[in-house]
Amino acid sequence: MKQIDLRSDTVTRPTQKMLEAMMAAPVGDDVYGEDPTVNQLEQTAAEMTGMADALFCASGTQTNLVALLSHCQRGEEYIVGQTAHTYKYEAGGGAVLGSIQPQPLDFADDGTLDLATVERFIKPDDFHFARTRLFCLENTQAGKVLPMAYLRQARSLADRHGLGFHLDGARVFNAAVKLKIDVKEITTLFDSVSCCLSKGLGTPVGSVLCGSKNFIARARRWRKMVGGGMRQAGILAAAGLYALSHNIDRLADDHANAARLAEGLSSIDAIHVDEKTLQTNMVLADIDADMQALVKHLADRDIRISLGSPVRLVTHLDIDAADINRAVAGFRSFF
């Protein structure tokens, strides 16, 4: 039976067409700047996000890391969400490799950072303090789309205080599709944006960092330093190019499937779906059950979910509406 993997949108396999695009890609040595497919991906990503330049990296952790290193010097500080990927899930790279101090703040329920609080935490210019240099947001944040009005206010806060403004846009295309806007409307509010190609967009590897020419030149040096200079990386970039031209509009299907999953699970008494967080491709569900037993029951039916409270269920390119029906039936049969 087909495996239905709801743990993450990173579990997708490249499709035959994506693999064909990878096999056909012209390549060269990207450390010499000579891989035409990488160059094309970087140019395409820059154009799509409305930025001057872009850099292809191995992962979203790497794009966020080189962004931190490019914005901040040793002894400087970035303001970030307490549960933000850039702070919590990247092994402390900014601190370890850049001596950059995080100032984590709690996310509000809607995935924003309260701007009055951010303003209060910006350190005055005083030798007792680290110098606050950068403000980071995440969009989508745990599946939630940040409101455009908020982003504009956050941009002006960054301007008022002379801060750099970075977006961890691992799933920024999900946000744009949900809002039915061009992704540029979101990305051009920032100085730098990291976008994952290997989440909902379905490539096996890769993220792009987009920003100004100067910023990307600095980031390119840091990428080399952290071992991210790749050679005939065009075979990977080709997957990214394929994804950027074929897999964006279809994110709406993932959102519809997440809504369908939420609706099905809500009909089970022991499951409570958080409707507020149901915006894109993630369903957060509180489940009143022996979770180990539930995970096993589902695994026996070729349905994989993570442990967690709430449990995060994620839809993606390898899941269709019929799979959602089968998953809901799997949950129902347990209860």
Ligand X SMILES: *Cc1c(COP(=O)(O)O)cnc(C)c1O
Q: Which residues bind ligand X (CB under 6 A)?
A: 59-61, 64, 85, 138, 168, 170, 196, 198-199, 207
Q: Would you say 198 or 330 has its CB closer to ligand X?
A: 198
- Please choose, from the candidates 193, 158, 163, 192, the residue with its C-alpha nearest in 3D space to the C-alpha of residue 175: 193
- Neighbouring residues of 16: CB distance < 8 A, sequence distance ≥ 6: none
Cα separations in angstroms, 4 against 29, 180, 332: 38, 28, 16
CA 186 to CA 139: how far, in whole Å?
Answer: 9
Q: b/e for 261-299, b at 16 or more Cβ within 10 A? A: bbebbbebeebebbeebbbbbbbbbebebeeeebbebbe
Beta bridge pairs of residue 166: 136, 192
Q: Where are the alpha helices (DSSP H) in the chain?
A: 16-23, 36-49, 60-71, 85-88, 93-98, 115-121, 148-161, 172-179, 183-187, 213-225, 234-246, 251-266, 291-299, 321-334
Residue with tokens 């997708």: 12
Closest CB to ligand X among residues 77, 168: 168
CA distance 265 to 21: 38
Rounded to the nearest whole angstrom, what is the least distance from the CB of residue 334 to ligand X in the complex? 28
Q: How far is the CB of 226 from ligand X (least distance, A)?
A: 12
Amino acid identity of residue 273, one-letter, is V
Closest CB to ligand X among residues 192, 198: 198
Minimum CB–partner distance for residue 43 and ligand X (Å):
22
The nearer residue to ligand X, 132 or 198, going by C-beta atoms, is 198
**Residue 253 beta carbon to ligand X: minimum distance, rounded to whole angstroms:** 19
CA distance 152 to 110: 16
How many DSSP H helices and E strands does the chain contain?
Answer: 14, 12
User: Least separation, in Å, of the C-beta of 187 and ligand X?
Assistant: 15
CB of 17: closest distance to ligand X in angstroms? 23
Q: Which residue is nearest to ligand X (CB)?
A: 60
Minimum CB separation of residue 147 from ligand X in Å reads 18
Q: How far is the CB of 289 from ligand X (least distance, A)?
A: 26
The end-to-end CA distance of the chain, in Å, is: 22
- Nearer Cβ to ligand X (44/83): 83
Q: Provide the 3-class DSSP secondary structure of residue 54.
A: strand
Min dist CB 208 to ligand X, Å, is 11
| Structural tokens at position 296 | 């096993």
Question: Nearer Cβ to ligand X, position 146 or 268?
Answer: 146
Closer CB to ligand X, residue 118 or residue 172? 172
Q: What is the Cα–Cα distance from 207 to 90, expressed in whole angstroms? A: 14
Nearer Cβ to ligand X (138/254): 138
Decide whether 201 or 328 has the Cβ nearer to ligand X.
Answer: 201
Residue whose tokens read 């993997």 = 5
| 279 SS3 class | coil
